[in-house]
Structure 1
Amino acid sequence: MVTLAMIIVSDSAWAKVNSVHASASPTTLELGDSFIYQVTVSGTGTLPTPSNNIPSAFQILSGPNSNISMEWINGKMSSSRTLTYTLRALRRGDFTIPAPTVTDRRQQKSGNAVNVHIEAPGSGATAQPSPNNMIPQETNVRQSNLRSIFLQAEIAPTSAYLQEAMVLTFTLYFQPSVRTFDVQKLPSTEGFWSEEWEVQSPPGVVERNINGRLYNAAVIYRLILFPTRTGELNIGPMKLNVHYVSGRSRNRSFFDSIFDSYVEQMAVSSEPITVNIKSLPYENQPDGFANVVGNWSLDARLDAKEVQTNESVTLTIRIKGEGNVGFLPAPEVRVPPDIELYEPEISVHKRPGNGEISGEKVFTYLLIPRRPGEQIIPPVEFSFFDPKLEEYRSVSISPGTLQVSPSSGWDVADVDGSGIPAPVETVGREIRWIMDSAPSLDDSIEPLHQRTAYWASFLMPIFIVAAGFAFRKHHENLAGQESVVRSRKAMKRAFTVLKEARQHHRNDEIGEGYNSLASGIIKYLSDRLNVPIASLDERVRDKCLELNQISETSRIELRDILSLCDSARFSPHGSDADSLGNLIDRSEKWIATVDRKLRPTKV
């Protein structure tokens, strides 16, 4: 043990760094592409870990991953330590990753700097894909010329039976950081019964390898379709307006090296889709079949087995399963002639999931027996086509027998032999006497123009208008006082939101932390400037800050903070804890800097 300790101490004491080398592959790529950055320290003994300063123009997707190798050659040991980062380009331009440094025997040694050139999306620069563990799956896309941002429409299956469920999915593929998107046109689905299948909000993002290029993919819209016609049916394109972060602002300034981004727009559209819809087979088709497709079960129950005549009883028929729940027709219900049957009340409960619509449709019938005795309710039958088994299926269930006894609430004389009340006979008529003298008529005691109500009718509109003006003035005063109170309390509320964001950060709720931070900043500006949140877009924010003499540096800092918050929503690796913590600190510093200058502003 003593010998081993001496060897370890000796090895640590005699560690020597021979070289420090940094490299990137590739060094020319497009905005949004990822690349590998490595730092290798070579020497002898136990080598120190190099220090790296990754510029803000790059996002760390993974790393640093450390690898240590040692070799003994002719009794001498040589070793190397390699740190590997996977980075993504966030801005366009030429950037330099500073030289890494290590401390060797209290002396600092530096390696070489690495230059990386980032071009605009679609410029033709190629980037090598990330390691295999960064590529969840390989995806084939039919578009011949892939852009940096495009919208893909997919439907499964591509051929189906009439009323068979089909899933239509729209996936947004993007390489640059996307802030948000606006739907310009939804797809046309003529010939289909459509049900929306909600997607995650904000959309979940995964990485896909598309023809050798790495993309972020987010499912933004999804429908479950049930074809109502046979033959070839067309599904129209979906159109979006995508807001993404480009690499460089339009107006160059001193601060471009720090805040070097600009939000641009791109119109994208999916390709139309044609599907083939097959007719249901005629062979073995049940009588009375109503084009119901899916997998269903049937239940029918009476809420009472014994009733009296003229007493209502409820028959509940429940059809449950998977398929087009809303399309289910009411089953045929037959009752004996001595029972009155009323139209049903219908309720539908459905939920989309797993490529199907599952749920139930409930038909509630009211029955009233008119004669006593045993009343047998015939079975309820229901037929459907199962597309998975490709066969017709029929189900039948009997609600049961109803025992009807004579009603005890009627007098025997008023009831015929069947238990039904006898009709009421008219035994007399109401007599109306004729007046034999007219009532006396008196003249008006007071003329109309001498009555108070007459003059009050002229003065009333004047009082109403005056009261309206007074109420409006009072309302404006209250609104003014409310805006002042909101403006004064804005900073206190903002720091409360920052505290919530830090709590999310400590609980590793990174996505919630970014959402809380962004909404808190916007709410602070709305309260402080007395501008509604709905009107506080980027242009209005910048104009209000300029009117309050907020410097260009602070305005750019705000745009960068909000841009990073929005980017974290769409980037699968952008929501890291360290970045959130740093962004909260920057936001707190920004609010403290500008708060004294902000006043309610009219724009």
Structure 2
Amino acid sequence: MKKIGNFCRILGSAAVLLTFLSLQVVAQSDVTVVATVSENTSYTGERIQLSIQISGDFSDISRPELPEFEGMRLLSNTPSTSRSYQYINGQSSTSYTYSYQLIAQQEGTFEIPSIPITIDGKQHSTNPISVEIINRNESARSSGDDRPEIFLRLEVSDQQPIQGQQVVADVVLYFRDGLEVNSYQPIPGWKAEGFWKEELENSERPQATSTILNGVRYRKARLLQFAVFPTKSGELEISPYEIVVSVRSSRSREDSFSSFFGGFGSNQRQVELETDPVALNVQPLPDIGEEIYFGAVGNFDISRSISTRNAIEGESIEITTRISGTGNIPLISKPEYTLPDGIEVYEPQENENINRRNGRISGTKTFTDVIIARSAGNYTIPEKEIAYYNPSQNSYATQTLPALNIAIERNPDRVAVDNNNQSLPVAPVTGLASWSVPTSQSLLSYWWFWAGIIIPIILLAVAYRQKSYIDKMQTDRAFARSKKASDKADQRLEDAITLSEEGNIKDAYNMLQKAIIGFISDRLNLPEAGLSNSDIIEALQKENIDKELVKNIRMLLDKCASISYAPSTSHEYLKSHVGLAQSTLDKLKKVL
């Protein structure tokens, strides 16, 4: 009986052990992995939350191995996580959730594939999910009921401008009643290739007004305004402009735009919006000749003045050309003047005062030529006919700048030396005299003879070289740009530091970008305006510039582009970028 009792106890223990193991197996097999999305149908720019939930009894879990998402962009590889526990009827259960944010980008129907995840050493995978993405801008143009509640447009003042004409481009937000806009942030890096662009200043906050689009009431607000100038003719396209908008549903407010830059609500979400590209048919300028046209398009008043009409030899005189008005002032080049022989001209100074208010670009651009007359006499700088194109009149406006007369007097400090023959008192020599025959010596043996021949030849060669250089600087624009590139870049770097010290960080980085792009375009004889960062990098690559140097330039240009839109940096941070730009330009000077 004792043996039978022992056997029964052993059998009972084995049964308990098997039951426990079976429960463990069942518990492990009850682990479930499910993937869900916040929206199966979404507009482009909307955020879609992808959640991966693991439920059951488990002890070790690895992070999901995310695949490539077609039609969507993953904001971050680092998920937000949440955990919950349950204990029911003696059984514990854990629920663990990974959440990722996706941005819908391309129109179409896409599938989020199965996502593998390792749990307690075993491979599991989620279910695939189908997501439909609707083009927001196309839907906004339709007349159906599926039109979006918010979208962005780029509206231009003229779709058939003349080359160089100022075109105002408004970034306009449309949204339905009941939607509250809290804030917006432009995405840096807008590249309007083929255009020179200037952001216009608007002191007032965006104001929403009511409008009807295809029978549906929307509210609209102009967020930003730019002046763009086409730098060439033909079919050009203004690339899409992108912003991130924070919005929430708020049916209780009458003015859903009244809380602009206001607080966040429980239904707060962010939406990435972009405009459609805008096509412009840019008309070429009528031919008038490069001698009188200096690149101005708009409405201008032009004057030329001289600092003095009476001077002495060697004294500097300034000729100032002032161009004031509305139009493409940043792109205007200096009118070229014919100067009489005997006058030397030095590098001109260029200054501009740009006004970006009142929905347009206006202001004044001043060119100052410094001249010096080397000999006395009367000089005349002849009159000059110049022309600019006036888009409002669809024709060129010509203006004649009057002649300038200058009287140059001899310098009174110059000392004239007269070689007058004077007789010397000589007393006769008496007494014994010894006669000797003088030896003759050839002039060729005297050093001063050769010096008198060689030095004038050298001076003549130097003078000829200097005159050729000055003439080439005046007539060969590409040569002059290349020679002036270094000084101009250094001046712009100093201006960037000055602007930073004044607190104008955005303008400082714009000036830093101008220094880099201006130096490269001047040395390579590229267009003076309308070049994008990619154009500059491509031009350097064609010159076989060192890859590491090109990489530094690309980094600097990208940094300038991003910070100029969101200048949240310090003066010391800018100085470090100016130092890097200076060292980079010093290296470029050796290879360009």
TM-score range, shorter chain: 0.3 to 0.5
Give the TM-score normalised by the residue count of structure 2. Answer: 0.42
Using the size of structure 1 for normalisation, the TM-score is 0.41
